[in-house]
Amino acid sequence: MSKKRISKKAAVGIGEERVSILAELSIEALANGREDLAVRYVTLARNIGKKTKAKMPEDFKYCKKCLIPLVPGTNCTVRLTSEKVVTTCLRCGELRRMPYRKEKEK
Ligand SMILES: [Zn+2]
């Protein structure tokens, strides 16, 4: 059994590239009405992330519960409260609250 040896740093780089490709594919699949595929891509991307510590692209959001990419106006709603951004997944109803970043004070 031969296993290719690559440095950890290289693995993260390759992982991140794949994760971002999968993120794009999943959004595309969603746009084509293929929720099943979209979920599959997010699942794959997450697995790569776990293995290589690659992070999801910063602007890519997905539901932590049903693993579907979240696209505002398509399958999620985004509501602003005074302190937080509340994203609701329209597929499973999962809420996600994100505090504002400091951008507000700029
Ligand atoms: Zn969901």
Say yes or no to pLDDT of 31 above 90: yes
Q: Is residue 80 part of a domain?
A: yes
**Residue range 22-38: mean pLDDT, rounded:** 97
Ligand 1 centroid from CA 97, angstroms = 13
pLDDT at position 105: 54
| 1 lies in some domain | no
Phi-psi region of 4 (alpha: psi -120 to 50; beta: other; left: phi over 0): beta
Total domains, the chain: 1
Residue 20 within a domain: yes
pLDDT given for residue 75 in this prediction: 95
Q: Is 2 part of a structural domain of the chain?
A: no
Domain annotation covers residue 21 = yes
Closest CA to 88 of 104, 103, 66: 66
Q: Report if residue 3 sits inside a domain.
A: no
What is the whole-number distance in angstroms between the Cα of residue 19 and the centre of ligand 1?
A: 20
pLDDT digits (tens, 9 = 90+) for 67-105: 999 999 999 999 999 989 999 999 999 999 988 765 555
pTM: 0.82
Domain around 87: 8-105
